[in-house]
Every structure is written in structure tokens, then in C-alpha cells.
Amino acid sequence: MMRTMNHTQPRMLYVMPERKKEKQIVDLCRDLGILPREIKEGEESRAVGVLAGTIPPELEPKPEKQAPGGYRLPELLVFCGLEDGLLDRFLAEYRQRKIEPTGLKAVMTPHNLFWPVYELAEELRQEQAAMQMARRSREGQ
């Protein structure tokens, strides 16, 4: 049986290079009872669940591959353990406070819990590019 750490407080992992926007997002998290946690340089190959405090570090799988040398994580928000409409409240309040949009957002799931954070970011980038291409092709018809 897999042992996980039971954190009841909802969390949000983030990469936010622009400090003003980071402060706005951290303030919003605190107002809603969400614990913000910055993903620091050098943590791009760490598992999402370990960074979120859901998986004990000793159970972190060794990544099959490391983030490429010089890789920098893009601006990113990863929501962990938000229940009962809290994600909807966060997104509504985010818009209401007129915080600049963040292109890459994800929810931690059993599927991506053990993924290195850079693989999650790259998957999100690919999905975003595919959606933009589909939108362009629909508009071009």
C-alpha cells in the first residue's frame, strides 16, 4: 500500500518570474486558505507530489530522465488538494483582482502525482499549442 502524507490544507505550487504578479497570487492564496509553494530553480526534476508534500521524499521515484541542461520552468500554477469549489473561487477571484493571465495551469491528480514537474510543464505546453492550432484552423475555415 502506498504511503502518502496527509495534508489537509490545499496547496498551490507555482513558478512566477514576475515578482509583482507573484505577490498578487500569493496574497490571493493566503486570502483563500491555500498554502503557496514556489518551485525553485533546481527542483524541475522533482515529482509534483513531493513538492506538494503529498508523497514523502523517500518514496519519490527516480526520474527516467532529468530536465535538459539549462532548462527553465515556464510560468506555471499547479493546484493540489483544492476541493468544494475552491478552484472555481480562486479562478474567479484571480480574474476579479485583474491579475495577468497565467498560461499554464494544472491540477495535481493521481495520474501526474509522480511526474517530474518539468514533464508536467512540457505536457501543458504541448496541450496549449494543440488547442491554439485547432482554434486557428476553425477560425480559418
What percent of the chain shows pLDDT beyond 70? 94
Vertex 121 angle, CA 9 and 132, to 5°: 120
**What is the DSSP code (8-state) at residue 37?**
E
pLDDT tens digits, residue range 40-64?
999 999 999 999 999 999 988 887 7
pLDDT above 80: residue 106: yes
Torsion sign across C-alpha atoms 122, 124, 125, 126: positive
Return the CA Rg of the chain.
Answer: 16
Give the pLDDT of residue 70: 86
> pTM (2 decimals)?
0.88
Calculate mean pLDDT across residues 91-101.
97
| Cα separation, 115 vs 64, whole angstroms | 10
Query: Which domains are delineated in the chain?
Result: 11-139 (3.30.429)
Determine the average pLDDT of the residues in 61-78: 88
pLDDT of residue 130 exceeding 60, the answer is yes
Q: How far from chain centre, in Å, is Cα 76?
A: 5
SS3 assignment, position 75 = coil
Q: What gap in Å lies between CA 139 and CA 133, rounded to an integer?
A: 10
| Each residue's pLDDT tens digit, 25-40 | 999 999 999 999 999 9
